[in-house]
Amino acid sequence: LLLSNTANTLEEAITEERQTFKQNLDNNVITIDTSFSSEKEFKKKLESYFAKKQIPSFSISFISFGYKYGVPLDADLMIDVRFLPNPFWDEKLRYFSGNDKEVYDYVMDKPETQEFIQRLTAFTDYAFEQYTKEGKNHFTVAIGCTGGQHRSVTIANYLYDVYKERYNCYLDHRDQKEWLTHEEA
């Protein structure tokens, strides 16, 4: 993710970087002496050669997922929220998701969730600030629960709302196609 933070996944970023390199290099050869360069200095040198008009600022992807479908392989931070109260066990909420107000409120109104998000955002505030200082331009946070429908979606939505005014943020509910629906009941 050296030059772009418009991608949501590592695969998308690699594809975009390959296209950028191909478009900019054509048949040109550039030699960069990195013998005495830090990672940050090397990145700045690359950006000077290949950057688009403006380098985007730090961005964050928030990805909700279900552990039963596997973990995302390209996450910088993985948060397990299976300890939070599970709306799945409430028959009225089972077929809804964290995108629905009823489920969102069920999860967010619990005292343990309030304490958790307070501690989590204190950590992420600090971490994002430090990653920005290091010259990183993208960070992926994966939030998981059992099925990726209720708790992880709620927390991903919450984090997206907290940070979308400060950073370029992306939100992906990876396992949405697996969600239980009323039609299946």
CA 68 to chain centre: 19
Residue 177 C-alpha from the chain's centroid = 19
CA Rg value for the chain:
20
Q: Which of 96, 80, 77 is nearest to 88 (CA)?
A: 96
DSSP H or E run through 79: strand 77-80
Say what the pLDDT of residue 70 is. 96
Residue 113 reports pLDDT greater than 60: yes
pLDDT digits (tens, 9 = 90+) for 52-63: 545 457 999 999
List pLDDT tens digits, range 25-34. 655 666 777 7
Which residue type occupies 70? G
Q: Residue type for 59, please? A: S
pLDDT range class, residue 4, cuts 50, 70, 90: very low
